[in-house]
Amino acid sequence: MRDEEQVRMATERMAMVFTSWGFPRMAARVLMTVMTADEDALTAGQIGERLAVSPAAVSGAVRYLMQVAMLEKEPQLGSRSDVYRLPDNPWYEATALKNDLFITLANMAEEVALALGEDTPAARRVQTMNEYFKFIHEALPKLIDLWREYKVEHGLD
């Protein structure tokens, strides 16, 4: 049987982990609230009630989550309210969006390394950063393919 107090505490702890990784705190709390809801989608009012926060706090958080493809907004039939739901695979979506960031960072690091001059300690450090981001950019699509296979093998689709 679902223990609401345990769910709330675990949700808050998970949100704190996301926050420690740089995720905005309210966005992390909203994400975990939607993720742990038995309902397929929640209104901003329902999210606010569950978190005991204002509609304005929820509004900013859902806007952020939609920008990073972790939440989708749909009109609620027969109402002026919208509902928020997770995309089919929010982790894949968010990760895939980050791949462009990795190649941008690689290109910027290469530019910095060139500006630092050849064969200096600083240039070598920045060039290593460049290579790391290029590696991640190239490896991420393969990793996502492995994730898709894993989901099928484990009946997660």
Per-residue pLDDT of the chain in tens (157 residues, 90 and over written 9):
888 899 889 989 999 998 998 899 999 999 999 999 999 999 999 999 999 999 889 999 999 999 988 899 999 888 888 999 998 877 776 777 778 888 998 999 999 988 998 788 998 999 999 999 999 999 998 998 898 899 899 998 7
Look at residue 77 in the predicted model and tell me its pLDDT: 82
Q: Bridge partners of 83?
A: 43, 74
The pTM of the full predicted model, rounded to 2 decimals, is 0.74
Could you tell me where the DSSP H helices lie in 44-89? 44-51, 55-67
| Predicted local confidence at residue 92, as pLDDT | 72
Residue in this structure with the two tokens 């390394």, named with its chain if needed? 113
pLDDT of residue 137: 92
Beta bridge partners of 74: 83
* Separation between Cα atoms, residue 15 and residue 24, nearest integer Å: 9
Quick one: tokens of 18? Answer: 């996301």
pLDDT for the residue 34: 95
